[in-house]
Amino acid sequence: MPELPEVETVVRGLRAPLVGRRVESVWLERDRVIATPGAAEFSVRLPGQTFRAIERRAKYIVCRMDQDVFAVHLKMTGRLYVTDPGQTHPDDRWARFKLALDNGQTLCFSDARRFGRAYLADSIEAIAPALGPEPLEDAFTPAVFKTRLEGRKKMLKALLLDQSFIAGVGNIYADEALHRAGLHPQRSADSLTDAEIERLYNTVRAALTDGIDYEGASINWYRKPDGSKGESQEHFFVYDREGKPCLQCGQPIVKIRVAQRGTHFCPSCQPER
């Protein structure tokens, strides 16, 4: 599933073609792609509204329209892209909705697995009320991170995946951050020292920032809006490197399951306590 760096890259790629464009009409492949307020209302409420800003909140693409917030969650295989008049795109075979724009272009959402969803509401909070803080914002300080860890007993990998704890981190960047911090993914959050808390705070932000700089990880379905791949997968320390030598110590990377997710780590650099 695309995580914070991938979604941020999509957001940045959509701003130029969409901001200032007005929605003329809506086409839906099936009603269930609209999570709220329902397909019929969505189809009459969105046309006539103009894209005023495109932002990211956690793993949501958030489009601020004239009256509403139009949001998309890509889930596992969703892609957003803009096509020119008469253009056929390879991903159109999985198109789930299309928005005709006032300049003749079309905003398309393709999704082979059909898990992605679109939303129309008065705020992102109405769509996803329980999201935690954004880990790259200035307001998310080491002190905030330490306070949010207080009383938490979850394993570190499971906690980093909890979107109510911090927003936007997923399987890839949790593994990468924990490796950089030298912390075993099954360590309990309440076992961390102050120095380890600060180290994890820094590595979470560093892993996400690097992911954005490399424009996301194209290891499965994720592509940028122009169809090209991101490069984060070329710079992983542990994720998707089971059996390969650790780039720091040379020991083989191990894969286990934590919180029902495949989890990669180096037993030497990330020892159990």
Query: What Rg do the C-alpha atoms of the chain give, in angstroms?
Result: 20
Active-site residue flag, 3: yes
* Sign, Cα dihedral of 244, 249, 250, 252: negative
Active-site residue flag, 152: no
Determine whether 272 is exposed, middle or buried from the number of CB atoms within 10 Å of its CB (0-12, 13-18, 19+): exposed
CATH no. of 142-265: 1.10.8.50
Q: How far apart are the two ends of the chain, measured CA to CA in Å?
A: 31
Active-site residue flag, 2: yes
Q: What is the value of pTM for the model shown?
A: 0.97
**Tens digit of each residue's pLDDT, the chain (273 residues):** 899 999 999 999 999 999 999 999 999 999 999 999 999 999 999 999 999 999 999 999 999 999 999 999 999 999 999 999 999 999 999 999 999 999 999 999 999 999 999 999 999 999 999 999 999 999 999 999 999 999 999 999 999 999 999 999 999 999 999 999 999 999 999 999 999 999 999 999 999 999 999 999 999 899 999 999 999 999 999 999 999 999 999 999 999 999 999 999 999 999 998
CATH fold, domain 4-127, is: N-terminal domain of MutM-like DNA repair proteins (3.20.190)
Catalytic, out of 21, 75, 114, 261 = 261
Catalytic, out of 3, 6, 8, 176 = 3
Catalytic, out of 2, 17, 135, 185 = 2
89: helix, strand or coil: coil
Domain ranges of the chain: 4-127, 142-265
Catalytic, out of 45, 59, 98, 187 = 59
